[in-house]
Amino acid sequence: MKIQLFQPQAISELGHRKNQEDSIYPAKGEATEENRVFVVCDGMGGLDKGEVASAAVCEALSRVCERIHNADAPFTDDDFRQALKEAYDALDAADVNNEAAMGTTMTFICFHRGGCLVAHIGDSRIYHLRPSLGYPKGVLFRSRDHSLVQQLYELGEISYYEMGTSPRKNVILRAMQPHQEQRTKATFAYITDVNAGDYFYLCTDGMLEQMEDDELLGIVGDASMTDEQKVERLVELTVDNADNHSGYLIQVKSVETEPEFDAKMPNNEPDLRKRNKCLNDHDKNNAWSEDDVEVVSEKSNEDPFEPQSAPTQQPASSKSSTASPADDEPITASKYKMAPNSKKKSRITLVVLLFALLVLLTGVGIGVWLFLKKGPANEANPDDKKTVPTVTDSQKPQPGKGDGQNEEGVVVGKDGDEVVIPVDEYVDPGILINRGILSPTTSQPAPAEETTSGTSNNGDVVVGEGNIVGNNIEPQARDEKQNSSKTQK
């Protein structure tokens, strides 16, 4: 495929800024029909020395591409990557104070034997227009900006109109900055469907502040104007734009096809066109895909031909402070309606989240109810209960050996605790308290010489032979205790 061009038309306007931070290649007034490489960069005005960054990248990228470009061979993505690497090196060298406080966007196109290779970083844009098809199909391709509003739109959070009016419309997710640990990758498109009369339009976002795609296509397709007049019209419509605005309008004069050679060239423009929601959501009946364009996640939207950077997504940043390379995807700037599939996906997501929240709250409520019903763990431990046992006749100590008694007496507490008590020993009430057989409020008794196992009138437990437990003992035992005390005194 051999592509011939008309005289390319350059745009470079200050807007309401004091200095020009955009850079274009070739410089305004220097382009000819022989040029095959074009670059447009938008230095980030909020950062220091945006004009230095855009100039360094524009000069290095164009110089290397012109050196590599061969009219008799395709210009590959590997060729572009080599040029982009040298552009980053030039950007690093331009940051003499090593402050990493400058940055720029980048758009690029190279016409070669295999068609066109286009690439971009940031929210500067590339169009492939075919006016003969009319709107909207005449917009064959539009790069998808690496911006926050583009992602919000694709998620259904904002509408077409809100993309152009959002206070975050200048927040971009990719840019070229010096001294990046992981240099930002460019998104590529390979275009082989090129006809005579097609236009390619590279521009910074400043050219699009007051312009929609249908208006752009109407100007470019106006057969009553020359290309110079078309550019003048575009400049008139952007005269009130605050930002610098620059671009290149390039018309294809003729295309000589080489079927066998062209068939080997990659062409992912149709797939990118179908996936670009802003090209499909204007009119579903005229969409490039017969099916609705599905809302896809940030990662699945990535160009399949583009090498992916590591998933180190950082917070979105404005042009005065851009994010480091991230696997985000492009923007657009249009109006009209909400994306139907985006709204549907948002509603489904909301329902799922509400259901998950309901399940979580239900689980917490059941857990609290069971906890309150069972009581704290320490109360549920039978070893910690200090209740006075009830001893039935069957649970009283049995007689010992020789005279019908056993060697041990057995007492079973209220909660089923079984305690073996030696018959011939005095049992410290503290032991019974620890075992939950005796309440801690009970006073410790003194040992008695002769007592029969059993219970007192007040229900106190008498354990074993010669052992008394409890405050209330039988009258005879109480009298013996009192006499004993008097004798000791």
Residue 85 zone, left/alpha/beta (φ > 0; ψ -120 to 50; rest): alpha
pLDDT at 233 over 80: yes
Classify residue 211 as exposed, middle or buried by CB count within 10 Å of its CB (0-12, 13-18, 19+): middle
Which pLDDT score, from 0 to 100, does residue 262 have? 83
Task: Give the mean model confidence (pLDDT) for residues 240-248.
Answer: 88
Average pLDDT value for residue range 458-478: 44
Q: What average pLDDT does the segment 290-313 reach?
A: 34
The pTM for the full model equals 0.60
- pLDDT of 190 higher than 60: yes
Please tell me the predicted confidence (pLDDT) of residue 282: 56
- Identify which of 293, 299, 298 has the alpha carbon closest to the alpha carbon of residue 271: 293
Is residue 136 over pLDDT 50?
yes
State percent of the chain over pLDDT 90: 37
Q: What is the pLDDT of residues 75-98, one digit of tens each?
A: 988 999 999 999 999 999 998 887
